[in-house]
Chains A and B, each alone.
Chain A
């Protein structure tokens, strides 16, 4: 092993070897990371018989679509999918509106209560009492008859992500020169007009990040809709619907539907991720570093 590495060609061969070893290591880890996803995707086309038998085969012996048809028609997954879509797009719309307005105001205005509002937003993001905080919100929603629709879930999910998205927008806003606002003001734009006509178009990259992160947040929300739909199966999103099946009856009997249901719950968000992976990772960093 302790060979002399004086010559240039020997050195580069050594580097090549090291690089190959590193690649092998990284690729192995990548295989283990992606394995559960591939396992569920292929497994969702296996017959229930094959799933109950188990084994190490990744590919199904016989490809069947039946699991998806059963999940979609009998196990209510069409409904769950619709609910998940409504929640995700709702959370996205609310988050975009709220955070872009707040980020704009925080970046461009000085006023008396500014630091109080800003700091309480930060403080409450760190004081995390867990799920208990959802109990009063749930009771409030029941009192206001808002537990029969998805609106309360959308609002609470968007509110929970608010601080991160406001930081993200605020950070981006600070990099937009104020001369832009002033030029628009001279042209007769109002405070809101500057926001809607000048700032929003410039904010696009940051808005894209917020859109992606909040969409993912809404799509993946679990505890919140679990609590709000405990007695109302019709409002369940995919996450809650598929996990509820795990506990219904003797799990093993419905493995094929569970596999198809899990696949339905993860494939859309994975497709979004594949289409926009750079923005996903970029948004992640921007939000965390600013926060």
Chain B
């Protein structure tokens, strides 16, 4: 009776204090963390040791790891991931930086132009990849038609179907769809640079390009670092657009790590294959480690750069 009373008393006290309502308000967040992050992760760790086709699971020990070391397509897809990410970043980062610097100043049409650059970011990457799939089409696509009209090519190019051009096409779509996002982040970073710094540079007679390298770039440093890290991790994890554009083809030429894994774990509509979920789990963990490693290397390098400058 007494303990019951004190329990009731404590309950009321912590309710008034806001502790119980607080936990109730956190229930959905905790639920999401447990169900959407912790549970799949433990599930994955378990199936690493199984051969699992979606119906039956057989324990195979370390067989999946052994298979991975000899899986040429996977390691090629790792190489393609690097190729894709490096090419994408090579064009995307300068493009978003230059457009950000130019648009930060109020000029004729800058609001509209900025709005247009950001537009691809609001569209589903699956649907805009489908649109590009039409543009790249060999015989009735507008890109080949245009290039033939202005006389650059004589024969239509099979952009997505030829192993020579498929990766280029995929990267074009990725840069088109991504640069506006980083531009916006950089513009907000540029807005944080106090204007009197520019004014004193102007008084000293610095021209636009000098101002950019001597003031804008160093002052933007911290924001730029975060933006580059975001861009790198995103580039290494991209695969949705590739699934729609080429489904990893032709002949696995555009398979990146995560598109290859997707087909292993969920199959494709274009090619019916036996699901290999256990093996896909192994590849996922290794791929996540690769992305993590790259992030760490980047952080190390950017810290080194700080020490030098």
- Nearest chain B residue, comparing its CB with the CB of A288: B185
Q: Does B103 contact A (CB under 8 A)?
A: yes
B127 A160 Cβ-Cβ under 8 A: no
- Nearest chain B residue, comparing its CB with the CB of A225: B126
Known: A136-B40, A243-B244. A159 touches B32 (CB 8 A): yes
Residues of B with C-beta under 8 A to A134: 40
Residues of B with C-beta under 8 A to A85: none
Known: A137-B36, A159-B32. A222 touches B240 (CB 8 A): yes
A36 B131 Cβ-Cβ under 8 A: yes
A262 B119 Cβ-Cβ under 8 A: no
**Which of the residues B28, B114, B120, B135 comes within 8 Å of A39, measured between beta carbons?**
B135
A131 B32 Cβ-Cβ under 8 A: no
Q: In angstroms, how far is the closest chain B Cβ from the Cβ of A132?
A: 4
A192 CA / B16 CA spacing, docked (Å)? 10
Q: Does B125 contact A (CB under 8 A)?
A: yes
A246 B284 Cβ-Cβ under 8 A: no
A241 CA / B265 CA spacing, docked (Å)? 21
**Which of the residues B117, B142, B295 comes within 8 Å of A29, measured between beta carbons?**
B117
Residues of B with C-beta under 8 A to A266: 123-124, 127-128
Q: Does B79 contact A (CB under 8 A)?
A: no
Q: Does B218 contact A (CB under 8 A)?
A: no
Q: In angstroms, how far is the closest chain A Cβ from the Cβ of B268?
A: 9
Known: A53-B140, A239-B126. A131 touches B21 (CB 8 A): no
Q: Does A17 contact B (CB under 8 A)?
A: no
Q: Mark A99-123, 1 if CB is under 8 A from B, else 0.
A: 0011011000101000001001100
B119 A54 Cβ-Cβ under 8 A: no
- Nearest chain B residue, comparing its CB with the CB of A123: B37
**Which of the residues B28, B38, B117, B262 comes within 8 Å of A223, measured between beta carbons?**
B262
A186 CA / B120 CA spacing, docked (Å)? 49
B33 A121 Cβ-Cβ under 8 A: yes
- Nearest chain B residue, comparing its CB with the CB of A185: B18
**Which of the residues A37, A55, A222 comes within 8 Å of B124, measured between beta carbons?**
A222
Q: Does B76 contact A (CB under 8 A)?
A: no
Residues of A with C-beta under 8 A to B135: 36, 39
Q: Does B254 contact A (CB under 8 A)?
A: no
Residues of A with C-beta under 8 A to B43: 135-136
B119 A132 Cβ-Cβ under 8 A: no
Q: Does A258 contact B (CB under 8 A)?
A: yes
Q: Does A124 contact B (CB under 8 A)?
A: yes
Q: Mark B106-133, 1 if CB is under 8 A from A, else 0.
A: 0111101111111111111111101111
For the complex, count residues of B whose C-beta is within 8 A of A: 94
Give the residues from 104 to 163 in chain A that come closer than 8 angstroms, CB to CB, to chain B. 104-105, 109, 111, 117, 120-121, 124, 126-137, 140, 156, 158-160, 162
Q: In angstroms, how far is the closest chain A Cβ from the Cβ of B21?
A: 5
A243 CA / B124 CA spacing, docked (Å)? 11
A120 CA / B142 CA spacing, docked (Å)? 48
A216 CA / B181 CA spacing, docked (Å)? 14
A132 B44 Cβ-Cβ under 8 A: yes
Q: In angstroms, how far is the closest chain A Cβ from the Cβ of B157?
A: 14
The residue in A129, A159, A262, A270 that gathers the most chain B C-beta atoms within 10 A of its C-beta is: A129
Q: Which of A59-67, A68-76, A172-180, A278-286 contacts B (4 or more CB under 8 A)?
A: A278-286
For the complex, count residues of A whose C-beta is within 8 A of B: 93
Known: A55-B145, A104-B25. A222 touches B126 (CB 8 A): yes
B119 A273 Cβ-Cβ under 8 A: yes
- Nearest chain A residue, comparing its CB with the CB of B144: A54
**Which of the residues B122, B188, B280 comes within 8 Å of A280, measured between beta carbons?**
B122
B22 A111 Cβ-Cβ under 8 A: yes
- Nearest chain B residue, comparing its CB with the CB of A117: B30
Known: A26-B102, A133-B40. A284 touches B185 (CB 8 A): yes
Q: Does B248 contact A (CB under 8 A)?
A: no
Q: Mark B235-254, 1 if CB is under 8 A from A, else 0.
A: 00101100110000000000
- Nearest chain B residue, comparing its CB with the CB of A138: B266
Q: In angstroms, how far is the closest chain A Cβ from the Cβ of B78?
A: 13
**Which of the residues A109, A129, A238, A252 comes within 8 Å of B140, measured between beta carbons?**
A252
Q: Does B305 contact A (CB under 8 A)?
A: no
Q: Mark B194-212, 1 if CB is under 8 A from A, else 0.
A: 0000000000000010000
In the assembled complex, 30 residue pairs joining A and B whose CB atoms fall closer than 8 Å, in A order, are A22-B107, A26-B99, A27-B109, A29-B117, A36-B135, A40-B134, A98-B32, A117-B26, A117-B29, A128-B291, A129-B285, A130-B237, A130-B239, A130-B261, A132-B284, A135-B277, A136-B40, A137-B35, A191-B18, A192-B21, A219-B124, A221-B124, A246-B133, A246-B244, A255-B134, A266-B127, A270-B123, A281-B114, A284-B184, A284-B185
In the A-B complex, list the 7 residue pairs whose CB atoms are closest, starting with the nearest.
Answer: A191-B18, A54-B140, A220-B124, A124-B37, A222-B126, A136-B43, A159-B32
